Amino acid sequence: MLENSFGLNFFLKTPRAENEDGTRAVYLRVTVNHQARDITTRRTWHPSKWNVRAGRATGNKEDTKELNAYLDSLTTKVFQAKKALLDADK
């Protein structure tokens, strides 16, 4: 598995029907060789508290820190899976 490009980012997906509280689902997009796959994180967040460029929640409250820590753990898992696939291909 030799990839030419690899990327991942988190984003808020616009729902077909608005949620009552205005939150949106947080998704992870993994891109390998210009082919993207979106994966749900099963978390929701309010767009006004989201930094689009960073792909992270903004603020200093506990729920913000928890979400960002969860997103960091998902990032780590993706890179571990990538490493395992690359090691298996040797």
CA dihedral of 36, 28, 56, 5, whole degrees rounded to 10:
-30
36: left (phi over 0), alpha (psi -120 to 50) or beta: beta
Task: Record the tokens describing residue 39, joined without a space.
Answer: 């994966």
The whole-model pTM stands at 0.88
Q: What is the reported pLDDT for 30?
A: 96
Nearest of 55, 78, 56 to residue 66 by alpha carbon:
56
User: What DSSP designation does 12 have?
Assistant: E
Kindly state the average pLDDT of the residues 7-18: 90
- Mean of all residue pLDDT scores within the chain: 92
Domain segments of the chain as ranges: 6-88
Task: Assess contact for 32 and 6: CB atoms under 8 A.
Answer: yes
Kindly state the average pLDDT of the residues 15-32: 90
pLDDT for residue 71 is more than 80: yes
Kindly state the average pLDDT of the residues 9-27: 90
